[in-house]
């Protein structure tokens, strides 16, 4: 990230100098701006590739987060919809409730009310077995 910032700052400095000069000197600053701008873009692309891919399904999102807070109040929108709409491709408000019966998730309380994968729910509520005679 430091290198990205360095290339960006250098490119912007060259841009400022290019705006203040003309002729051959302006052309040199333009070339310098172009070089640092492309180095900035190349570093930004490298950084972008290191990020985790966006979940494509509700199931993947809930599994990755381990818990998605639910909110029955719709002002300004339900918490689960606000959380998932930016993280699941083609998510629409109400999709979690609409697809809930077919998903391997459960409603539960984990600090707040929400949705958890079944594996997380098993950890929250372990069953005790009694082998009494």
* Cα 71 from Cα 81, distance rounded (Å): 9
Q: Does residue 111 share a domain with residue 69? A: yes
Q: Does residue 76 share a domain with residue 43? A: no
| 68 inside domain | yes
Alpha helices in 21-108 (DSSP H): 23-50, 58-65, 79-84, 95-99
Q: Please state the domain count of the chain.
A: 2
Structure-block tokens of residue 120: 């997380």
What is the bridge-based pairing of β-strands 112-117 and 68-69?
antiparallel
Q: Does residue 74 share a domain with residue 37? A: no
pTM of the model: 0.53
Q: Does residue 113 share a domain with residue 92? A: yes
- Is 3 within 8 Å of 42 (Cβ atoms)? no
Q: Does residue 75 share a domain with residue 109? A: yes
Residue 36 pLDDT: 93
- Its domain, for residue 42, covers 2-50
| 133 inside domain | no
- Is 69 within 8 Å of 109 (Cβ atoms)? no
* Cα 21 from Cα 62, distance rounded (Å): 55
Q: Does residue 35 share a domain with residue 79? A: no
Residue 6 pLDDT: 92
Q: What is the CA radius of gyration of the chain?
A: 25
Residue 123 pLDDT: 86
Q: Does residue 105 share a domain with residue 71? A: yes
| 7 inside domain | yes
Q: Does residue 63 share a domain with residue 46? A: no
Residue 130 pLDDT: 52
Tens place of pLDDT for every residue, the chain, 133 residues? Answer: 889 999 999 999 999 999 999 899 989 999 999 999 999 999 998 888 888 777 788 899 899 889 988 877 776 778 888 889 888 888 999 999 999 999 999 888 877 888 899 988 888 887 755 555 4
| 25 inside domain | yes
């Amino acid at each position: 990230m430091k290198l990205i910032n360095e290339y960006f700052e250098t490119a912007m400095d060259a841009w400022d100098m290019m705006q203040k000069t003309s002729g051959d000197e302006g052309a040199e600053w333009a070339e310098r701006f172009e070089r640092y701008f492309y180095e900035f873009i190349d570093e930004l692309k490298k950084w972008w590739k290191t990020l985790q891919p966006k979940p494509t399904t509700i199931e993947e999102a809930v599994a990755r987060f381990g818990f998605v807070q639910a909110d029955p109040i719709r002002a300004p929108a339900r918490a689960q919809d606000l959380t998932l709409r930016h993280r699941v491709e083609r998510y629409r408000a109400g999709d979690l409730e609409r697809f809930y019966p077919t998903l391997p998730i459960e409603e539960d309380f984990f600090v707040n009310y929400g949705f958890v994968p079944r594996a997380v729910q098993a950890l929250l509520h372990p069953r005790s077995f009694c082998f009494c005679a």
